[in-house]
Amino acid sequence: MTKPIIGVMPLWDDDKESIWMLPGYFDGLIRAGGTPVMFPFLSDKDEIFRLMDICDGILFTGGHDVSPAIYGEEPMKCVSSCKMRDDMEGIVLEKVIETNKPLLGICRGIQFINAYLGGTLYQDIKTQYPSDTEHHQEAPYDVPVHAVDIEEDSPLYGCLKSRRIEVNSYHHQAVKDLAPGLKVMARSEDGLTEGLYMPGHPFLWAIQWHPEFSFSKDDNSLKIFSSFIEAAG
């Protein structure tokens, strides 16, 4: 059986001026039955679309902060964004919606999808949404640090068959106002949006936690990757 090809958005290292990739993204997709390929940074729409044409699904990875300019705000001092990534992922997201290509967003992925489609973000949780819930854990990153509650009418509940799960957490930005056309499918114990999806799209899911760190020991993390690969198959 032919394995679905998954286009993976690259990570960018400012200091080394190079693209790179956390192996967990690739390993999780491979374990779930996919074949991952990393995109280069491109600005030409036709080139991006040619790459997307060979892909059965798209993964939005974690990484840089989403630029507040996307949702009409000035950046706080702690924000570090990557314009070439924001620009390319905007092009990819629009095409994903137009063509109904499956997409899974992780961490930055949920933030970018929400911001680009008209929502807003907390630029810094510690400053703008203080709570006792741990959202920026220290290593090891495969250890769960807080719970999320899953909406029973959401596709995530259909995947996991659980109302509450424990997750890892490593982020300092988060969804604030939900974008039009999206629905929440999970919330953290302190009320932040931790999962969303686009009703009417075959598979456009995004989560705030990191299954790429935990899929080898956490069944729920692997189930998320597997549902994505099944949609792309």
- What positions carry a catalytic annotation? 107, 210, 212
Task: Phi first, then psi: give them for residue 55, nearest 5 degrees.
Answer: -100, 140
- HSE value, Cβ hemisphere, 13 Å, CA-based, for 151: 14
Task: Phi first, then psi: give them for residue 63, nearest 5 degrees.
Answer: 130, -140
Provide the token pair at 183.
Answer: 């629905």
Is residue 159 within 8 A of residue 205, CB to CB? The reply is no
Residue showing tokens 């709570």: 131
Residue showing tokens 């499956």: 102
First to last CA, the chain: 10
Report which secondary-structure segment, H or E, holds 226: helix 219-232
Q: Considering Cα of 23, then 182, then 177, then 70, what sign does the dihedral take? A: positive
- HSE value, Cβ hemisphere, 13 Å, CA-based, for 213: 19
As a residue count, the chain comes to 233
Q: Give every CB contact of residue 33 below 8 A, 6+ residues apart in sequence.
A: 3, 4, 226, 229, 233
